[in-house]
């Protein structure tokens, strides 16, 4: 029996594995105390992230679908947006939001790696390499803290997804969010 990877353990904890893969992880959990210890460490990490992000300790990060769902289940006030390639979506800061989720949907079939670039006239450029993505749901989930969202002036944010498919770099889509600052009547 092979030892499950951290990603497999995390996906098992989030309920994202198929039945066969889940059974292999569960067998490893019962047979190897180090696998159980690794799962407990991953759970503590997920709980720390679920606390740190809404409090603004991490301004923006990419999440797995399962981790985003777990965070949403916590019931904290947040905003959520689904953006397709070429689409412009209006978004706004709210007084009580703890975080904001942007689900960037693209054709991720056969993609081996995804990088994200975020550009704004007011913020410059941010780059996130090799982010988690969900090829089944065809999305990249980005999360930004509420404090970070409230600090952004009215601006346009452009997200570019690039990836690697069959060993070649490909453009996966450009997504635009028209952000309205807190208190800006627009």
Burial 169-185 (b: 16+ CB within 10 A, else e): eeebbbbbbebbbbeee
Q: Do residue 116 and residue 154 come from a single domain? A: yes
User: 115 in a domain, yes or no?
Assistant: yes
User: 90 in a domain, yes or no?
Assistant: yes
Q: Do residue 27 and residue 103 come from a single domain? A: no
Q: Is 7 a residue whose pLDDT tops 80?
A: no
Q: Do residue 12 and residue 36 come from a single domain? A: yes
Q: How many domains does the chain have?
A: 2
Q: Do residue 80 and residue 26 come from a single domain? A: no
Q: Which residue has the higher pLDDT, 125 or 43?
A: 125
Domain that holds residue 44: 6-48
By the 8 A CB rule, do 42 and 25 touch? Answer: no
Q: Do residue 131 and residue 66 come from a single domain? A: yes
Q: Which residue has the higher pLDDT, 45 or 126?
A: 126
Q: Do residue 162 and residue 124 come from a single domain? A: yes
Give the tens place of pLDDT for each residue, 61-107: 888 887 787 777 777 778 899 999 999 999 988 888 878 899 999 99
By the 8 A CB rule, do 54 and 76 touch? Answer: yes
Give me the CATH number covering residue 139. 2.60.40.10
Q: Is 115 a residue whose pLDDT tops 60?
A: yes
How far CA 171 is from CA of 62, 84, 106, 114, 160, in Å, comes to 18, 14, 10, 10, 8
Query: If pLDDT is split at 50, 70 and 90, which confidence band does 157 have?
Result: very high
How far CA 176 is from CA of 6, 55, 87, 138, 157, in Å, comes to 33, 26, 6, 18, 6
Q: Do residue 38 and residue 21 come from a single domain? A: yes
């Amino acid at each position: 029996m092979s030892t499950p990877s951290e990603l497999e353990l995390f996906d098992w904890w989030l309920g994202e594995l198929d039945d066969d893969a889940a059974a292999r992880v569960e067998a490893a959990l019962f047979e190897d105390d180090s696998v159980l210890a690794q799962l407990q460490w991953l759970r503590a990490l997920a709980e720390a992230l679920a606390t740190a992000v809404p409090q603004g300790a991490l301004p923006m990060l990419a999440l797995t679908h399962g981790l985003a769902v777990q965070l949403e289940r916590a019931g904290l006030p947040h905003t959520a947006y689904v953006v397709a390639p070429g689409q412009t979506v209006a978004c706004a800061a709210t007084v009580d939001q703890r975080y904001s989720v942007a689900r960037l949907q693209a054709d991720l079939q056969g993609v081996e790696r995804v990088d994200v670039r975020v550009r704004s006239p007011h913020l410059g450029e941010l780059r996130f390499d090799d982010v988690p993505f969900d090829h089944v749901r065809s999305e990249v989930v980005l999360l930004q803290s509420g404090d970070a969202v409230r600090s952004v002036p009215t601006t346009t944010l452009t997200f570019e997804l690039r990836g690697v498919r069959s060993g070649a770099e490909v453009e996966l889509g450009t997504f635009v969010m028209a952000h309205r600052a807190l208190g800006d009547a627009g």
